[in-house]
């Protein structure tokens, strides 16, 4: 079973929706660290064509975009930027310049990179210079020292190397050996090294010359690198999304039978992305404020401590009081975990059984050794026989039990053996009998066969491949752009594209004729969808005009004498008052009627 790369539970995940119980060690406050190691040789500043950007400019843009995204997705992560092959140096080694220390992303760092893109590229030679004498081993050493000296507790360490030279130490066996040795040290210290190769104009990048021995990957026969343009495009893409890292909400025991248990991790693959809560600051000095609540006795105003209070439940007009421990004991049903109840054919799992968003199960070896083997066997048998396990599920202490169906999912990989979907079980929550409702079905007009066939044609014409990842929340995108514009002193926020709006032009191009035919078959003559009261656009104004013309033919004096003014509409009364130049004391209907009655002496 391929590794999902899920981090340990509790790794700086403050947004866990549920607090699970189990035998695990919490490890709070961990962060991810990333260092951009950028080659500053003269060739990195030479564009392929006159109007194109140089490789170094692309590297700085990638770093800038990453910082912008990190602020939104995971602002507790740390990022640093190191230049090598420069004349100027500020580290322990020559020809190596630490441009930005390993720290959390901030507005000033982004502004510094923007300034370098605007006018620093032309003056880079004067400020930093270029050098052909450098040691890649010392550059790796500098990155390792930055991680070791960092005051942040870093969980995942990564160095991203940007270069267009596939053989930087050609002809120097000593520097090559030192680079390989230091790359091995990085790997042993848990620091991943990733290569982002920037192609020189008219040349290719041959990994076998030098970098193959520096990259420690699962593919021992690595002879070629993935297309760097895809990775660069991914880094350059500005998608302001909250990064929900794959961290387990909890680790539970899965019981197949008496004495046969294994452990699993529970994950949330989808989570609602919301705006961050504003922080309250002091008006005097902008210091962050913390809220503090107290409970008071209603009659005397005495401050109550937690031990002075009880909880009560009203039953039969009487308040039943409980201690805190009694409340917990009442809520407790059983120990947290999954207990297998049996199996059902997958076809019996209906879409309308949806109760709440699903979770995901993946084996965990930290609690029970050998859990992966037993989990894999259960998954394969469920896939082979097309069945779903039905389990009783208690996610945490004091949580009510659920019945869940475990929907098996097979692992999928692309042509490069990169995992697209992980293997495991989706936890589908099933409804109890009390959750089902009887919906009254009203007798409504039924469509005939011709209308149904035309509707099918329209649906076929308007079909497209849907993916939730293709649609950004326009409210969130606008929110982050506004904040970014304020933080970076922009004149105006960037424009957003609202992909939730229907593409009317494409719809009309693909199915305009079919939609017209469907409308003619289903709707009555003169019907305009969206118009109020079934009239055509502007039909409401025409109706009002017709009523006013009809009111002019009425004998208002007779209507007033017979007490029928209340049946007339306000516009009709106003029109008559205006025409007869009657003075009304107010604009309400009653005021208008009183004014007309006074005018006629009724």
Per-residue model confidence as pLDDT tens digits over 504-529: 889 999 988 998 888 888 887 767 76
* pLDDT above 80: residue 495: yes
Which stretch, 30-34, 474-478, 549-553, has highest mean pLDDT? 474-478
25 is catalytic: yes
Among the listed residues 8, 25, 200, 509, the single catalytic one is 25
Q: What is the mean pLDDT of residues 401-406?
A: 94
pLDDT tens, 321-359?
888 888 888 888 888 999 999 999 999 999 888 888 899
Burial 205-218 (b: 16+ CB within 10 A, else e): bebeebbbebbeee
Written as six digits, the tokens of 351 are 């879409």
pLDDT tens, 137-176?
999 999 999 999 888 888 889 999 998 888 888 888 898 8
pLDDT tens, 56-109?
888 898 888 888 888 887 878 899 999 999 998 888 888 999 999 999 988 899
Q: What is the overall mean pLDDT for the chain?
A: 81
- CA quadruple 182, 183, 188, 190: dihedral sign: positive
Closest CA to 269 of 426, 132, 449: 426
Give the domains, in start order, of the chain with CATH numbers.
1-10+249-287+334-437 (2.40.290.10), 31-236 (3.40.50.410), 449-522 (1.10.1600.10), 554-600 (1.10.720)
**Cβ atoms within 10 Å, residue 596:** 22
Contact of 568 with 589, CB cutoff 8 Å: no
- CA quadruple 284, 285, 286, 288: dihedral sign: negative
Per-residue pLDDT, 537: 45
**Cβ atoms within 10 Å, residue 454:** 19
């Amino acid at each position: 079973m391929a590794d999902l790369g899920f981090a340990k539970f509790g790794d700086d995940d403050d947004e866990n929706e549920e607090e699970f119980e189990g035998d695990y060690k919490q490890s709070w406050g961990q962060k991810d660290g990333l260092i951009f190691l950028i080659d500053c040789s003269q060739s990195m500043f030479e564009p392929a064509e006159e109007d194109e950007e140089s490789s170094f400019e692309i590297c700085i843009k990638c770093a800038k975009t990453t910082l912008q995204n990190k602020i939104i997705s995971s602002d507790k992560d740390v990022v640093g930027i190191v230049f090598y092959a420069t004349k100027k140096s500020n580290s322990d080694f020559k020809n190596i310049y630490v441009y930005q220390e390993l720290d959390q992303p901030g507005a000033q760092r982004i502004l510094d990179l923007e300034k370098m893109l605007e006018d620093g590229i032309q003056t880079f030679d004067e400020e930093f210079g270029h050098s052909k004498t450098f040691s890649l081993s010392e550059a790796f050493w500098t990155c390792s020292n930055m991680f070791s000296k960092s005051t942040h507790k870093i969980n995942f360490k990564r160095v991203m190397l940007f270069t267009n030279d596939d053989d930087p130490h050609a002809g120097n066996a000593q520097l090559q050996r030192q680079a390989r040795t230091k790359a091995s040290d990085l790997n042993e210290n848990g620091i991943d090294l990733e290569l982002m190769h920037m192609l020189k104009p008219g040349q290719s990048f041959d990994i076998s010359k030098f970098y193959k021995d520096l990259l420690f990957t699962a593919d021992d026969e690595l002879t070629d690198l993935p297309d760097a343009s895809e990775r660069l495009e991914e880094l350059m893409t500005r998608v302001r999304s909250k990064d929900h890292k794959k961290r387990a909400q909890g680790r539970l025991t899965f019981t197949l039978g008496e004495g046969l248990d294994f452990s699993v991790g529970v994950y949330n693959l989808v989570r609602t992305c919301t705006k961050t809560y504003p922080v309250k600051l002091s008006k005097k000095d902008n210091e962050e404020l913390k809220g503090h609540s107290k409970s008071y006795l209603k009659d005397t105003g005495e401050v109550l401590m937690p031990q002075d209070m009880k909880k009560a439940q009203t039953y039969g007009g009487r308040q039943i009081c409980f201690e805190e421990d009694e409340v917990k004991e009442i809520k407790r049903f059983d120990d947290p975990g999954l207990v297998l109840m049996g199996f059902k054919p997958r076809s019996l799992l209906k879409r309308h059984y949806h109760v709440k968003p699903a979770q995901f199960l993946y084996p965990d070896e930290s609690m029970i050794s050998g859990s992966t083997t037993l989990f894999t066997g259960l998954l394969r048998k469920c896939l082979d026989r097309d069945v779903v396990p039905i389990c009783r599920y208690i996610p945490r202490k004091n949580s009510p039990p659920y019945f869940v169906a475990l929907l098996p999912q097979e692992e999928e990989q692309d042509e490069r053996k990169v995992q697209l979907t992980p293997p495991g079980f989706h936890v589908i929550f099933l409804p109890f009998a009390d959750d089902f409702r009887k919906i009254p079905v009203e007798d409504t007009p039924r469509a005939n066969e011709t209308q149904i066939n035309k509707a099918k044609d329209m649906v076929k014409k308007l079909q497209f491949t849907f993916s939730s990842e293709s649609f950004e929340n326009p409210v969130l995108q606008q929110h982050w752009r506004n904040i970014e514009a304020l933080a970076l002193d922009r004149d105006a926020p960037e424009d957003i594209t609202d992909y939730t709006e229907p593409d009317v032009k494409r719809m009309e191009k693909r199915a305009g004729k079919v939609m017209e035919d469907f409308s003619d078959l289903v709707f009555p003559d003169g019907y305009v969808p969206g118009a109020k009261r079934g009239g055509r656009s502007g039909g409401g104004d025409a109706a009002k005009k017709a009523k006013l013309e009809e009111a002019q033919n009425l004998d208002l004096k007779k209507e007033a004498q017979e007490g029928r003014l209340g049946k007339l509409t306000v516009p009709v009364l106003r029109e008559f008052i205006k025409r007869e130049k009657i003075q009304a004391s107010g604009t309400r209907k009653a005021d208008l009627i009183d004014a007309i009655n006074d005018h006629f002496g009724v």
